[in-house]
Structure 1
Amino acid sequence: MSTLTQDIPPTARPSAAPEREETTRRRTAPGALLSKGVVNGLLIVAAFYTLMPVSWLLFAATKNHRDLFATSGFAFGDFNLFANLERVFTFNDGIYLRWFGNSILYSVVGSAVSTLLCVATGYAFDKYEFRGKEKLFALVLGGVLVPTTVIQLPMYLLATKAGVVNTYWALLLPALVNPFGVYLARVFSEGYVPGEVLEAARVDGAGELRTFARIGLPMLAPGFMTIFLFSFTASWNNFFGALVMLNDEQLYPVNLGLFMWNSVTQQQPEFYSLVITGSLVAVVPLIVAFVCLQRFWRSGLTAGAVK
């Protein structure tokens, strides 16, 4: 009997593994579905809470002045959106378009130059060794801890000494300094730019500037776009800095211009529709920037450039 038992191949013997896996799957399936349902439910609630102000703007922009206060906040009006847009763009000789263009200038140009400086600085902190490197980087990190509103008064005094108050430079120059961008650039440089690739470029005779421009900067494209998006959002929402530095309405960014319109709504209620429709238009560039640039965050094609 023992001989017959030993002659049976192992594969022919019954195994309880499939039954155990099936039992485990049946036990864990309801729990997994419940956890996914809870997570998805929380995400839906968070998305609804985040999009609710924007959806309210969209509903309110379709109403005239009477419907704005006589109907529900989340109900469409008589679809006066195009009429409201025309009124916003033509009011006071199209001053809103001037504000919108100023915001594009402050945000796009200022953020692009600031991001390039941050990427170059973070690259230098990562790839080069020099005296006092870590102490200097600690000083840069200390700048992250300082709130922007705290330094507005010193910046205003410096701008007064330099004679750039009430000019475009009053907002463009402070936007070039971004300590958090330098920190992110160093982190991206450590992960995306292998030192072996730079050494190979130097062996081939490339200078440091050419190595950075031709090799380091393309590899840092995801980090560049991420820092640019943060800088763009901060510049677009820079209300307090513009309020302190600017007096000429021709130089206002769109958020400060909308604030000035909103300040007179108590005396002139017809400005409510201008403020609401203008706010809806002002949100569009941020949405476009996030939708168009989010693919760069997930880009990791250059992370394995070393062979």
Structure 2
Amino acid sequence: MSAVGTPVGTRPAIGAPAARRPRQRARVLPTAVLLVGALYCLVPVAWVLVASTKSRGELFSTFTFAPGTGLLDNLGDLFAYGDGAFLLWCANSLLYAGVGAVLSTLVSAMSGYALAKFRFPGRDAIFYAVLGGVLLPGITLAIPQYLLMSKLGLMGSHWSVLLPSIISPFGIYLSRVYAAAAVPEEVVEAARIDGASEWRTFTAVAVPMLLPGMVTVFMLQFVGIWNNFLLPFVMLSDEHRYPLTVGLYSLLAKGSGEPALYSLAIVGAAVSILPLIALLLFLQRFWRMDLISGGLKG
């Protein structure tokens, strides 16, 4: 001990803040990268939202991020265009994204559960094939899907967009990983010992445990189908079956001859974001519930 009561060989506490500084600097760079990425993603969205409030004169003059005065007029023109064509495109998008996401979530959950909990010949080969499907760009499947739907006589119908959306390799992969982690083998075996069928074991035991993962798959599929442009663009020729993406593209294509349609396309793009925001706000409670239940189990 030293004369003042400090153990010999220990450094004064005054050096502790200096030791923390490198760690704090190391945290600044990732935070800065995330902020730059957030700005990169949010600035175009902010531009669309602000541009949707501009009148035609304000939009084609010097642009600022100050709100304009033409939002109500733009909305009125948008919903009146083509005798309500925009509302029809919205209904088509809800059909494709809603039904497609529900069916894809069910198929993904059942497939992922089977790959995680059943032992059968070729299981690993199927799983690796699913991984290959995750790595395969969707654009490479457009022409084969077009030819297949043409052979089935479904070209131009709603089914030509719905059927390819049901199978999601990433959704199956995510469900398989989540089922392996969230559904204990002991619980499944206990249900089988009690005499439950495999279907009842899946629906009554596994599905409640898989619910947060299924919600994630549903959201990813809904957003992916809602924003999908290439598949409906290739499959559909009737404007009355267009989703929002292809419908707004048709407005931009016609805008070269009618500049007023540019304003409608921008307002339509801003309105098309709102259902996705509402969906995210609605589904986030399922993730919050999962975090709370995980904390209680711990």
Q: Is 1:246 equivalent to 2:239 in the alignment?
A: no
- Preserved contact between residue 226 and residue 296 of structure 1 (Cα < 8 Å): no
Alpha carbons of structure 1 residues 57 and 304: separation in structure 2 relative to 1, 3 Å:
closer
In 1, the alpha carbon distance for the partners of 2:136 and 2:29 equals 38
**Deviation string for 1:249-301 (max 9, x for gaps)?**
11000010000000011110010110000000111222223333345446256
**Deviation string for 1:94-131 (max 9, x for gaps)?**
11011011101100111111111001001001101111
Q: Post-superposition shift, 1:41?
A: 3.3
Q: Indicate the residue corresponding to 1:293 in structure 2.
A: 283
Alpha carbons of structure 1 residues 42 and 145: separation in structure 2 relative to 1, 3 Å:
closer
Q: Indicate the residue corresponding to 2:54 in structure 1.
A: 63
Alpha carbons of structure 1 residues 120 and 187: separation in structure 2 relative to 1, 3 Å:
same
Considering only CA atoms, is the larger Rg found in Structure 1 or Structure 2? 1
Q: Indicate the residue corresponding to 2:18 in structure 1.
A: 27
Q: Is 1:202 equivalent to 2:179 in the alignment?
A: no
Q: Is 1:142 equivalent to 2:105 in the alignment?
A: no
The more displaced of 127-136 and 20-29 is 20-29
**Deviation string for 1:189-234 (max 9, x for gaps)?**
0110001111112222211111110110110111101111111121
Alpha carbons of structure 1 residues 304 and 60: separation in structure 2 relative to 1, 3 Å:
closer
- Preserved contact between residue 197 and residue 306 of structure 1 (Cα < 8 Å): no
- Preserved contact between residue 110 and residue 175 of structure 1 (Cα < 8 Å): yes
**Structure 2 segments unaligned to the other structure (5+ residues):** none
Q: Of residues 121, 130, 133 in structure 1, which corresponds to 2:123?
A: 133
In 2, the alpha carbon distance for the partners of 1:244 and 1:152 equals 7
In 2, the alpha carbon distance for the partners of 1:82 and 1:273 equals 12
Q: Of residues 118, 139, 149 in structure 1, which corresponds to 2:108?
A: 118
In 2, the alpha carbon distance for the partners of 1:95 and 1:201 equals 52
How large is the Cα RMSD of the aligned pairs?
Answer: 2.5
Q: Post-superposition shift, 1:16?
A: 3.6
Q: Indicate the residue corresponding to 2:65 in structure 1.
A: 74
In structure 1, give the amino acid aligned to 2:119. Answer: E
In 1, the alpha carbon distance for the partners of 2:55 and 2:258 equals 15
Q: Of residues 153, 161, 169 in structure 1, which corresponds to 2:159?
A: 169
Q: Is 1:212 equivalent to 2:212 in the alignment?
A: no
In 2, the alpha carbon distance for the partners of 1:306 and 1:66 equals 59
Q: Indicate the residue corresponding to 1:228 in structure 2.
A: 218
- Preserved contact between residue 233 and residue 286 of structure 1 (Cα < 8 Å): yes
In structure 2, give the amino acid aligned to 1:71. Answer: T
Q: Indicate the residue corresponding to 1:4 in structure 2.
A: none
Q: Of residues 28, 39, 45 in structure 2, which corresponds to 1:48?
A: 39
In 2, the alpha carbon distance for the partners of 1:24 and 1:57 equals 51
In structure 1, give the amino acid aligned to 2:73. Answer: A
Alpha carbons of structure 1 residues 133 and 36: separation in structure 2 relative to 1, 3 Å:
closer
In structure 2, give the amino acid aligned to 1:226. Answer: T
Q: Residue 120 of structure 1: SS of its match in structure 2?
A: helix
TM-score w.r.t. length of structure 1: 0.88
**Deviation string for 1:160-207 (max 9, x for gaps)?**
121111111111111111111111111000110001111112222211
Alpha carbons of structure 1 residues 218 and 21: separation in structure 2 relative to 1, 3 Å:
farther
Q: Post-superposition shift, 1:241?
A: 0.5
Q: Post-superposition shift, 1:82?
A: 1.8
- Preserved contact between residue 194 and residue 306 of structure 1 (Cα < 8 Å): no
Q: Of residues 14, 17, 25 in structure 1, which corresponds to 2:5?
A: 14
TM-score w.r.t. length of structure 2: 0.91
Q: How many residues align?
A: 295
